[in-house]
Amino acid sequence: MLKRTACLFALLLIGVVIIATSAPVRANDDIEDGKTYRVVRTNGKEVVGEVTELGNVYKVKVASGITVTLKKSEVREIISLESEQPAAIDVDHRRLAMEITDAEIEQILGDESVEDLYVWEYIEQVDLMEPLELDEESVRIMERYAGREGKRLITPHFVFVYTSSPGAARRLAARLETVYKWNVTFMRLFAIPPKKPDSKLEVFYFNTYEEYGAYQTLNGFKSMGALGFYYSLNNRCAFFDMNTWPPVAAALAGSTDTSRPYKERMKLKNEYKRWSDWMNIAVVQHEATHSIQFNIGIFPQRGNIGKWMIEGLCVQFEVAPSITGGSLGSINYSRLDDWHKMYGRKGERVPWTFVKNQILSNGMGYHDYVMGWAINYYLRKEFRDEYAEWMQLMAAREDDFSVRINTTQRLADFENLFGKVDEEWVQEMFDYIAAIPMRESAIVRDPRNP
């Protein structure tokens, strides 16, 4: 899903075919800030837009509003378009007026190993992709919690204190750095003012469920049975190797029972191993997304934001990598599957007022994840400009537990941007979700409840 052919990049230029008639400006020549150029990269790809030279990079603002940052070392030549004449072709004015599409954005940003192309245009420059500082004192406290087996792993934006194998910790770190980039990308796409975290985001990764359970108890979460959590009061995440979770561990132990046929044992082992590995990534990406979003400015930590909004956005980043993509770059088919089971494919099992109540509530349990996913996905796809304003409003909520938003104001804020939430509005959303094709191959089901 994240892979795109080079032809998609040409969509940015559709309707504006030009013929070069002027001499190229080499990458090391002076550039007039704000002037439009064709920038030819060393890999042959081109970007057209207003160019600004800053230090060792060029920043190119394309027609869609996206700003691409290119290192000077990856630019072959820069051609001024001032004297270039449009060819005699039919111009698709309707297409030129459209916003940049998801496919175009992905082509600009690349796949999950993309270089950092994130630029902020606010008065106070904040580069979220720069490495964060390490809070050494806080990490030492984490190491004391982890005990003798605790080790640390430092990445640009995270610090892990782990008791697992180094390989497992490195795989986890790689996933979280990818999810961090996706969240920064999300902020850039919807013009949410960035906030740089004070220090690297802190993560525990325990080798066993028993270690994790002890830490849960320490924080008062043991009774909740969560398979991973982000705790805002100490601003840390905690996870464990899902293969050691008692139901999975018991099933894997059963796969060694030689009294059972070999094929049956191997089938059981493979099913549980696949599911636990998938769950491990999904839980880690979900809870880490909370940490990222509360620390880089998507949501204020103590702001009065509806639970459907917080969880509904978060689940869009939890998707484990598969043939359909990963994180924000993929549809969350597991949540879509839950939607079908809970509400019916077309939402026929719930009244339209249920959606309105969800928007107005502070929390409605598991509906915050499933219905919250659907509302966020629908708004992001069908109301791009309005959703950007909405996200900016959420980010600007006061970071104070005592400041509450009443239901009248909640509804007014929502309807001012997205229209009156009535039966017709809800039915349009239901129809949109119903039209999403299900991909059963993208779902990894719990062997206990296939």
Q: Which of 280, 298, 316 is the last residue of a domain?
A: 298
In-domain check, residue 435: yes
Q: Does the residue 422 lie in any domain?
A: yes
- Residues 54, 181: one domain? no
The residue from 109, 144, 177 where one domain ends is 109
For residue 158, the surrounding DSSP H or E stretch is strand 158-162
The whole domain housing 398 covers 299-450
Are 90 and 213 in the same domain?
Answer: no
Q: Are residues 283 and 323 in the same domain?
A: no
Could you tell me the CATH number of the domain that includes residue 53? 2.30.30.100
The reply to whether 229 and 335 lie within a common domain is no
- The answer as to whether 142 is a domain residue is yes
Distance CA 72, CA 54 (A): 10
Q: What is the pLDDT of residue 147?
A: 92
Over residues 242-263, mean pLDDT: 84
Residue 338: inside a domain: yes
147 plus 29 within the same structural domain: no
The average pLDDT across 320-338 equals 85
Distance CA(11)–CA(13), nearest Å, equals: 5
Assess if residue 116 is contained within a domain. Answer: no
| Buried b or exposed e, range 145-163, using 16+ CB within 10 angstroms | bbeeebeebebebbbbbbb
pLDDT tens for 168-188 read: 999 889 889 999 999 999 999
Mean residue pLDDT across the chain:
81
Q: Which of 249, 272, 298 is the last residue of a domain?
A: 298
Q: Per-residue pLDDT for 441 more than 90?
A: no
Tell me the HSE value of 391 on the side-chain side, using a 13 A CA sphere. Answer: 25
Q: Check residue 179 and give its pLDDT.
A: 92
Residue 123 inside a domain? The answer is: no
Sign of the dihedral defined by the CA atoms of residues 322, 326, 331, 337, in that order: positive
Q: Are residues 341 and 265 in the same domain?
A: no
**436 and 315 in one domain?**
yes
Looking at the structure, tell me whether residues 348 and 421 fall in a common domain: yes
Domain membership flag for residue 118: no
Whole-number percent of the chain with pLDDT over 90: 52
Instruction: Provide the CATH number for the domain around residue 153.
Output: 3.40.30.160
Kindly state whether residues 178 and 64 are assigned to the same domain: no
Q: Does one domain contain both 329 and 281?
A: no
HSE, side-chain direction, 13 A CA sphere, residue 222: 12
Length of the chain measured in residues: 450
Residues 154 and 229 in one domain: yes
User: Is 280 a residue whose pLDDT tops 90?
Assistant: no
Six token digits for residue 178: 């990818």
Is residue 312 scored above 90 in pLDDT?
yes
Say whether both 280 and 134 belong to one domain.
yes
pLDDT at 58: 81
pLDDT band of residue 65 (cuts 50, 70, 90) is: low
Residue 123: pLDDT band (50, 70, 90) is very low
pLDDT in tens, 355-378: 999 999 999 999 999 999 999 999
Identify whether 122 is part of a domain.
no
Regarding pTM above 0.75, the answer is no
DSSP lists the bridge partners of residue 301 as none
Q: Identify the band that residue 260 occupies on the pLDDT scale cut at 50, 70 and 90.
A: confident
From the list 10, 26, 6, the residue with the least C-alpha distance to 18 is 10
Give the bridge partners for 54, in sequence order: 57
Specify the number of domains making up the chain: 3
- Is the per-residue pLDDT at 122 higher than 50? no
